Amino acid sequence: MSHPIGIAVIGLGESGQHHIAVIQGDRIRRPAQQTPETPDLPAAWRAGLLRAGRQFVRSLLGRSKPPPPPLPNPGVEEFQLIGVSDIAESRLDWAKQNYDIPCATRDYKTLLTRNDVDAVLICTPPAFHPEITVEAARHGKHIFCEKPMAMKSAHCVEMIEAAENAGVILQVGYMLRFSSERGRIAAAIRNNDLGRPVFFRETMSLRAGGDQPWIHDQELGGGPLWEVSHCIDFVRWVFGDPELVFAIGGHYKPNRISAIDTYATCLLFPSGDRALVGDSYALKGFGWEKKKQACRFHRTEIDVMGPCGYLQFPDADLGHNLTICTYGEPEDRIETFPWTSEWGANGYKAQLEHFAECVRQKRAPAVSGYEGLKTVQLAETIVDSIRSGEARRFGMLP
pLDDT at 62: 45
pLDDT at site 129: 98
Res. 67 pLDDT band, cuts 50 70 90: low
Kindly indicate the confidence band of residue 73, based on its pLDDT and cuts at 50, 70 and 90.
confident
Q: Where are the beta strands (DSSP E) in 184-332?
A: 199-204, 244-250, 262-268, 274-280, 300-306, 309-313, 321-326
The pLDDT value recorded for residue 333 is 96
The separation between the first and the last C-alpha atoms of the chain, rounded to the nearest angstrom, is 52
Query: Which residue in 116, 115, 157, 164 sits closest to 143, CA to CA?
Result: 164
Over 90: is that where the pLDDT of 72 sits? no
Alpha carbons 231 and 203: distance in angstroms, whole number: 9
pLDDT of residue 68: 65
What is the model's pLDDT at position 295? 57
The C-alpha atoms of residue 146 and residue 173 are separated, in whole angstroms, by 5
Handedness of CA 192, 368, 122, 379 (dihedral sign): negative
Q: At what angle do helices 180-190 and 230-239 cross, to 10 degrees?
A: 40
Asked which of 146-150, 295-299, 300-304 is least confident by mean pLDDT, the reply is: 295-299
Q: How far apart are CA 48 and CA 223, in angstroms?
A: 24
Q: Name the DSSP class of 343.
A: T
Q: What percent of the chain has pLDDT over 70?
A: 85
Inter-residue contact 313 to 323 (CB < 8 Å): yes
pLDDT digits (tens, 9 = 90+) for 325-334: 999 999 999 9
The C-alpha angle 175, 181, 182, rounded to 5 degrees, equals 55
The closest alpha carbon to 311, from 206, 229, 192, belongs to: 192
Q: Tell which wins on pLDDT, 345 or 324.
A: 324
DSSP string, 96-135: HHHS--SEEES-HHHHHT-TT--EEEE-S-GGGHHHHHHH
Instruction: Output the CA–CA distances (angstroms, integers) from residue 293 to 211, 284, 341, in the order listed.
Output: 17, 10, 23
β-bridge pairing 321-326 and 333-338? antiparallel
> Over 70: is that where the pLDDT of 69 sits?
no
Which of 340, 362, 367, 337 is closest to 351 using CA atoms? 367
Contact by Cβ (8 Å): 47, 116 = no
Is the Cβ–Cβ distance between 248 and 293 less than 8 Å?
no
Position 338 pLDDT exceeds 80: yes
Cis bond before residue 102 (omega within 30° of 0): no
Query: Looking at residue 72, what DSSP letter applies?
Result: P
Say what angle helices 369-388 and 153-166 make with each other, to 10 degrees.
170
Let me know: does 282 contact 261? Beta carbons within 8 Å.
yes
Domains of the chain by start residue, with CATH: 5-174+347-366 (3.40.50.720), 177-345+377-393 (3.30.360.10)
Q: Find the Cα–Cα–Cα–Cα dihedral 210, 214, 215, 219, rounded to 10°.
A: 170
CA-to-CA distance for 82 and 101, rounded, in angstroms?
Answer: 6
Query: What percent of the chain clears pLDDT 90, i.e. is strictly above it?
Result: 78
pLDDT digits 0-9 by tens, 174-188: 999 999 999 999 999
| Secondary structure (DSSP) of 138-202 | HTT-EEEEESSS-SSHHHHHHHHHHHHHHT--EEEE-GGGG-HHHHHHHHHHHTTTT-SS-EEEE
354, 76 Cβ separation under 8 angstroms: no
> Looking at per-residue confidence, does 315 or 55 come out higher?
315
Residue 44: predicted pLDDT:
43
Examine the pLDDT at 90 and tell me if it is beyond 80: yes
